[in-house]
Amino acid sequence: MIATTDLGSRPFLFSLAMLIGAFAVQTFGQELPAAQRGAGELQSKEPSAKLSLAEARDLSGTWMTSYWYNGLNMGPKGSLPDKESPLHGVDDPRTPVVNLLTPWAKEISDKYSIYTDPILSCYSPGPQAYSAPYAFEIIPSPGRLNILFEYFHEVRRIHMDGRKHPEGNPNPSSMGYSIGRWEGETLVVDTRGFKESPIVSIPHSDQLREIERIRRIRDGSVLEIEVTKEDPKAYTQPLRQTYYFKKDPSLEIVEHNCDGMIDYATHKPK
Amino acid sequence: MKTKLLILLFASWSRLASAHHSTSMFNMEKPTTIEGAVKTFEWVNPHVYLHLDVLNSGSKLEEWIVEIHSPAIMLRRGYTKDYFKPGEKITVVGGAIKDGTHMMRLLRGTKADGTKFYGDDFSPSATGAASTQ
């Protein structure tokens, strides 16, 4: 039997868990280190969809930023989550993320202006490929889940065959090296092996580690992706962001690349 | 109510606009209005561009570039590469680039026949933002 995270329907178990948790903290007098707290548990309060295990683990299909269907968050409130949570610190969610950058990351961020942000030179968005409002398609293949992003035609391969991450980050890359495993109806993806990224809004080092918790929620037609970023070289605490996507079999993924990017200073093609 | 609506409109617009890059290089808070004739409508990634011939205060023609969204987003809102015709007269409202050159990021616009485009939901039959100002 697969445990559900629908805490609302099990108030007794939830209360018991809270009591045990409170007791543990009081007894042992310490909390888990921030990094473990950040990556170790699902934070979302959304219940998982009530699906069979096989259905819950079928993530195949085309998924589009959910608020696209709510008139860009302007229409009547629908059944879809209408916005992603902004990127925030796990320990200090109200502190602007710029204040959670280490001096190393701040220096990178300060090195570029709004006119020289590497994203304007079509630098690979890497982990920012979930950027809205674009779609992606998940295609399973033996031992792998493949994500084909519309945004900049990025591709991710999530290894599901039980392998380990390569030792020592031998090939730092924009999208990193992803290994996935199932925890009940939640796909947990551990991505390491990134290269440094100077993108101004959120730079990262080659020490970045991303833990994603991916689940089907609501009636199964919404995908929730909770991303926790740990990068002791770049961030003073783990950062988190939650995205929502709606399954849309009719949506056609179209070409999105950087072929026609212009130089903002000269107005000429790059 | 109107103020609230506009704030919401801007909030939703700015969130989307940041999908590729920050719009902090544009004066989105102080929109500029220009009238001109379409020179070309450049349907390219990652942003489509309108090139407009605009008569300046000295009655001289100058070219403005109006950055819009990506073809993917435009297509899904009902636009195609043929939505604007060369020579067509339009009025556009947008955030002018802060370096003072002739470029802006589109907020909304109106065709000569009164058709509004690219308002609150970016659609070719725009409502909301385009009709409140």
Range A143-158 average pLDDT: 95
Cβ contact B22–A262 (<8 Å): no
Mean pLDDT value across chain B: 81
Specify which residues A2 forms β-bridges with: none
Which of A 135-164 lie inside 8 A of B, CB atoms?
Answer: 150-152
Taking residues A133-139, report their average pLDDT.
95
Quick check: A87 pLDDT over 60? yes
For residues B106 and B126, what is the distance between their CA atoms, to the nearest angstrom?
13
Roughly how many angstroms between the first and final C-alpha of chain B, as a whole number?
A: 14
Q: Nearest Cβ partner of A257 from B8, B12, B45?
A: B45
Radius of gyration of chain A (CA): 20
Report residue B6 CA to chain centroid gap: 16
A10: pLDDT strictly greater than 70: no
Give the amino acid at A147: I
Average pLDDT score over residue span A100-122 = 85
Q: If you compute the radius of gyration of chain B from its CA atoms, what whole number of angstroms results?
A: 14
Q: Do A151 and B44 touch (CB under 8 A)?
A: no
pLDDT at A200: 72
Average pLDDT over residues A203-222: 94
Contact B24 A264 (CB under 8 A): no
Distance of CA B57 to the CA centre of its chain: 21
Taking the model in full, what pTM does it have? Answer: 0.80
Whether residue A213 is predicted with pLDDT greater than 70 in this model: the reply is yes
- 3-state DSSP: chain A helix, strand, coil percent, rounded to 5? 25, 30, 50
**Residue pointed to by tokens 């070719």:** B124
Question: Cis before residue B46, ω within 30 degrees of 0?
Answer: yes
Among A69, A74, A119, which would you mutate to test the B interface (most chain B Cβ atoms within 10 Å of its Cβ)?
Answer: A74
Residue A119: pLDDT band with limits 50, 70, 90? confident
Do the Cβ atoms of B8 and A74 come within 8 Å? yes
Q: How far apart are CA A213 and CA B69, in angstroms?
A: 30
For residue range B28-59, list pLDDT tens digits in order. 899 999 999 999 999 999 999 999 999 998 99
**Mean per-residue pLDDT over chain A, rounded:** 81
Give residue A253's pLDDT band: very low, low, confident or very high (50, 70, 90). Answer: very high
Q: Which residues pair with A235 in a beta bridge?
A: A101
Of A67-71, A74-78, A247-251, B54-58, the least confident: A74-78
- What is the average per-residue pLDDT within A230-243? 95
Write down the H helix ranges in A7-154. 11-28, 34-40, 53-56, 103-111
* Helices of type H across B18-133: 71-76, 129-132
Within 83-112 of B, beta carbons closer than 8 Å to A belong to 97, 99, 101-103
Say if CB A131 and CB A103 are below 8 A apart.
no
Which contiguous run of DSSP H or E holds residue B5?
Answer: helix B2-17
| Rounded Cα–Cα distance for residues A108 and A116 (Å) | 12
Task: Please say if the pLDDT value at position B129 is more than 80.
Answer: no
Q: What is the pLDDT of residues A169-199, one digit of tens each?
A: 999 999 999 999 999 999 999 999 999 998 7
Alpha helical stretches, state H, A112-214:
none
Of the two residues A247 and B119, the one the predictor is more confident about is A247
